Amino acid sequence: MADLHAVLDAGFICHLGLVVDGGPMVVPTTYARDDDHLLVHGSAASQSLRAAKAGTPVCVTVTLVDGLVLARSIFNHSVNYRCAMVYGIPEVLVDPETKLAALRAISDHVAPGQWEYARPPSTKELAATMVLRLALDEASVKISEGPPDDDDADLTLAVWAGEVPLRTVRLDPVAAPGLPEGMAVPVHLATGLLAPGSEAARDLI
């Protein structure tokens, strides 16, 4: 369970997979972990969430890519990654306060401090949003790490082999059109993960 929590806490984009009208559908969205549950949200009008509301089993996948593994042979090339898959029939959150708490958890996971800063959802907006809660009871974690695993016969080839590490980072904020000239970036976005020149702090995944 610790590995599962670690992968879910490190990411912020998931893919919600389910069968809709007899065919597969996979939808990307943001999420958050609330103890032993996963919270996923989207438009109440979307096909995928309406199907989930009807009790359709889902698979929610979170994948973090850590590096390209380049071997001496093309056959042994691979990717280092961390992946979590959560299965089950989600619960639809109906109570407005529970929905608000779940949406706040998602907002805080993606952009800490933004919920306190921006306007909260209106009653109409809350009604147009569906939130699913999925227990982590049935889940799996896959982790691939380390150097390439070349065949013994390829070890003497004059071909470079190794890993090209990859990471996702937050960059400096870009103001939306129409903001008053000179309006300062709020502290929660201008500091911490977004601190200028702090490369370690800017790592997101």
Select the CATH number that applies to the domain covering 2-166 from these four: 3.40.630.30, 3.10.20.30, 2.30.110.10, 3.40.47.10. 2.30.110.10
User: What Cα–Cα distance (Å) separates residue 137 from each residue in 8, 114, 170, 177?
Assistant: 14, 30, 32, 44
What pLDDT digit, counting tens, does each position of 66-119 carry? 999 999 999 999 999 999 999 999 999 999 999 999 999 999 999 999 999 999
What pLDDT digit, counting tens, does each position of 144-182 carry? 999 999 999 999 999 999 999 999 888 888 899 999 988
What pLDDT digit, counting tens, does each position of 44-75 carry? 888 787 777 778 899 999 999 999 999 999 99
| Band of pLDDT at residue 9, cut at 50, 70 and 90 | very high
If one counts every other C-beta atom within 10 angstroms of the C-beta of residue 49, the result is: 26
pTM of the complete model: 0.87
String of DSSP letters for 90-132: PEEP-SHHHHHHHHHHHHHHHSTTHHHHSPPPPHHHHHTEEEE
3-state secondary structure of 49: helix
pLDDT of residue 50: 76
Q: Where in the sequence of the chain do the CATH 2.30.110.10 domains occur?
A: 2-166
| Residue 119 structure tokens | 């306007």
pLDDT of residue 172: 86
